Amino acid sequence: MDAELLLSFLTAALRTTAPLLAVCLGGLWSERAGIIDVGLEGKILAAAFASAAIASLTGQIVPAVAAGLAASLLLALLHGFIAIDRGGNQIVSGMAINLIAAGATALIGSALFGEGGRTPALGDAARLHGLPLLGFGWPAVVAFAAVPATALALRQTRFGLQVSAAGENPAALTAAGLSVRDTRYGAVVLCGLLSGLAGTDLALAQAAGFLPGMSAGKGFIALAALVLAKWRPGGALLACLLFGSLDALAIRLQGVAIGGWPAIPVQLVQALPYMMTLVLLAGFIGRSTPPAAAGQP
């Protein structure tokens, strides 16, 4: 029985880690290119709503997934336009995207379905089901596979090296006759697609539809994981596994009494991942230095 509980916990930890990891890697690409993105939360939320809404309206998976990726990509390109072409404040732009996504999903959801911003519960045919022996769907597999792919791309490909140069020394990239603008847009597109993958996984694989605010701070937790990882793919995997395990542990500990002690309050258990986020962002676990040109137009 203990082995079964352990296996169940590990599966749950991997399942909760997957969307967090996907959006964290998206933020990594963006920030390694010099574009600070605090709008990850909004991209997840937009993708979750768009995928669930289209799945509910069509009953089909392919257009639902495409809609989720497209919604996140649209917001990523909006952020890119403001940050890259217009030289706007990247923090303000990211927060505006979060607010737009939170308001628009609730408004459009209420107008379409009349359920307070929710989408109707999705049937089995409109959901992403877990793969055999894994317990989670293909978006989670893609998220984990993106870790070595990202590490390899950043070190071994022309585009990856350009992304690193755009974030550390864009003047050198320009001097080499390469476009900082195009490189940063490429990184922003990757950020949008990976964030969309996270939102789609939440709505179609881990839930049976959309709930207002269902991203539940995952975009901000991903930013904390990115800082802890020092903007490295391997570190991002470990940091997201830490947060995902805390989330899975919180689910398992709700209402459970241990060793004769009273049951731990549900609210305290649910707050564990967010408490860890505050600890990390406060700088208590080492210092991290972002790319030198991060946030610079």
Look at residues 65, 59, 60, 32 and name the one whose alpha carbon lies nearest to residue 47.
65
Q: pLDDT tens digits, residue range 9-32?
A: 888 889 999 999 999 999 999 999
Domain with residue 51: its CATH number is: 1.10.3470
**pLDDT value of position 117:** 84
The answer to whether residue 289 sits within a structural domain is no
- The Cβ-side half-sphere exposure at 120, using a 13 Å CA radius, reads 14
Q: Please answer whether residues 197 and 138 qualify as being in contact, where contact means their C-beta atoms are separated by less than 8 angstroms.
A: no
Look at residues 194, 97, 207, 209 and name the one whose alpha carbon lies nearest to residue 145.
194
Q: How far is CA 66 from the centre of its chain?
A: 17
Domain with 132, as residue range(s), is: 13-281
The answer to whether residue 77 sits within a structural domain is yes
Grouping H, G, I as helix, E, B as strand and the rest as coil, residue 220 is helix
pLDDT at 281 over 90: no
Cα angle 26, 8, 6 (rounded to 5 degrees) comes to 110
b/e 185-207 (16+ beta carbons within 10 angstroms → b): bbbbbbbbbbbbbbbbbbbbbbb
Give the residue-averaged pLDDT of 89-97. Answer: 94
Percent of the chain with pLDDT over 90: 59
Q: pLDDT tens digits, residue range 100-118?
A: 999 999 999 999 998 888 9
Residue partners of 78: CB distance under 8 A and separation at least 6 = 93, 97
- The Cβ-side half-sphere exposure at 243, using a 13 Å CA radius, reads 31
The answer to whether residue 295 sits within a structural domain is no
DSSP state, residue 205: I
Please tell me the total count of domains within the chain.
1
The answer to whether residue 88 sits within a structural domain is yes
The answer to whether residue 124 sits within a structural domain is yes
pTM of the model: 0.90
| Summary count for the chain: helices (H), strands (E) | 12, 0
d(C-alpha 246, C-alpha 275), whole Å:
10
Q: How many other β-carbons are positioned within 10 Å of the β-carbon of residue 279?
A: 13
The answer to whether residue 276 sits within a structural domain is yes
**pLDDT value of position 1:** 46
The answer to whether residue 111 sits within a structural domain is yes
The answer to whether residue 218 sits within a structural domain is yes
Look at residues 143, 132, 131, 130 and name the one whose alpha carbon lies nearest to residue 205.
130
